[in-house]
Amino acid sequence: MDKQKKNILLIICDQLSAQALPAWGNSFAKTPNINSIVESGVRFNNTFTTCPLCQPARASFWTGLYPHQTGVMSNGRQHYVPNLSETIPTLGETFAAGGYKTVHFGKQHDAGSLRGFDLAPITEREIKNVSAVFPINYDSREDLNTSEQTIKFLNNYSDKAPYFTVADMNNPHDICNWIGKFQHNNKLVKTDCELPPLPKNLYRDDKDFKKLPLPIQYICCAHTRQAQIAEWDEEKIRYYLLAYHHYLTRVDDEIGKILTAVRQRYDKNNTLIVLMADHGDSMCGRWMATKHTSFYDETVRVPFVFSGPEIYGKNRSVKGLVSLLDLFPTLCDYAGIKSNIQTEGKSLMPWLAYKSTDFPHKFVVSQWHTEWGFTIEPGRMIRTEKYKYTHYLEENGEELYNLVTDPGELKNLADNPDYESVLKEHRNFLENYVSATKDPYFNLEWNAEKRWRKHKPGYRNHRGTAAPQQ
Ligand code: ZN
What is d(CA 257, CA 254) in angstroms, rounded to the nearest whole number?
5
CATH number at residue 256: 3.40.720.10
Instruction: Please check whether residue 53 lies inside any domain of the structure.
Output: yes
Residue 121 CA neighbour count, 13 Å, CB half: 3
What is the percent of the chain where pLDDT is above 90?
Answer: 94
pLDDT score at 238: 98
- How many angstroms is it from 450 CA to the middle of ligand 1? 11
What does DSSP assign to residue 344?
S
Instruction: Please check whether residue 398 lies inside any domain of the structure.
Output: no
pLDDT score at 1: 41
What residues contact 266, with CB distance under 8 A and at least 6 apart? none
- How many angstroms is it from 394 CA to the middle of ligand 1? 16
What is d(CA 42, CA 304) in angstroms, rounded to the nearest whole number?
9
- How many angstroms is it from 292 CA to the middle of ligand 1? 13
3-state secondary structure of 272: strand
pLDDT tens, 351-409?
A: 999 877 778 899 999 999 999 999 999 999 999 999 999 999 999 999 999 999 999 99
- How many angstroms is it from 58 CA to the middle of ligand 1? 28
Instruction: Please check whether residue 397 lies inside any domain of the structure.
Output: no
The average pLDDT across 29-55 equals 98
pLDDT score at 207: 85
- What is the tally of structural domains in the chain? 1
- How many angstroms is it from 419 CA to the middle of ligand 1? 30
Exposed, middle or buried, 421 (CB in 10 Å: 0-12/13-18/19+)? exposed
Instruction: Please check whether residue 283 lies inside any domain of the structure.
Output: yes
pLDDT tens, 142-186?
A: 999 999 999 999 999 999 999 999 999 999 999 999 999 999 999
- How many angstroms is it from 226 CA to the middle of ligand 1? 8
- How many angstroms is it from 237 CA to the middle of ligand 1? 18
pLDDT tens, 226-278?
A: 999 999 999 999 999 999 999 999 999 999 999 999 999 999 999 999 999 99
Residue 246 · residue 134 · CB < 8 Å: yes
- How many angstroms is it from 354 CA to the middle of ligand 1? 49
Handedness of CA 305, 149, 171, 129 (dihedral sign): negative
What is d(CA 408, CA 191) in angstroms, rounded to the nearest whole number?
29
Amino acid residing at 314:
K
Confidence of residue 4 (pLDDT cuts 50, 70, 90): low
**pTM for this prediction:** 0.97
Count CB-CB contacts under 10 A for residue 133: 15
Rg (CA), the chain: 21
Residue 166 · residue 105 · CB < 8 Å: yes
Amino acid residing at 17:
S
- How many angstroms is it from 463 CA to the middle of ligand 1? 7
Residue 44 · residue 351 · CB < 8 Å: yes
- How many angstroms is it from 217 CA to the middle of ligand 1? 8
Amino acid residing at 177:
N
Instruction: Please check whether residue 231 lies inside any domain of the structure.
Output: yes
Q: pLDDT at residue 208 above 90?
A: no
- How many angstroms is it from 190 CA to the middle of ligand 1? 28
- How many angstroms is it from 224 CA to the middle of ligand 1? 10
Q: How distant, in Å, are the alpha carbons of 19, 272, 294, 327, 354 from that of 316?
A: 17, 16, 30, 18, 11
pLDDT tens, 315-345?
A: 999 999 999 999 999 999 999 998 889 999 9
pLDDT score at 2: 44
What is d(CA 18, CA 26) in angstroms, rounded to the nearest whole number?
9
Q: Which domain holds residue 234?
A: 7-362
Residue 410 CA neighbour count, 13 Å, CB half: 17
Angle subtended at Cα 306 by Cα 33 and Cα 295, rounded to the nearest 5 degrees: 90
The average pLDDT across 437-449 equals 97
pLDDT score at 357: 74
Instruction: Please check whether residue 379 lies inside any domain of the structure.
Output: no
- How many angstroms is it from 72 CA to the middle of ligand 1? 27
Average pLDDT along the chain? 96
- How many angstroms is it from 346 CA to the middle of ligand 1? 39
- How many angstroms is it from 257 CA to the middle of ligand 1? 42
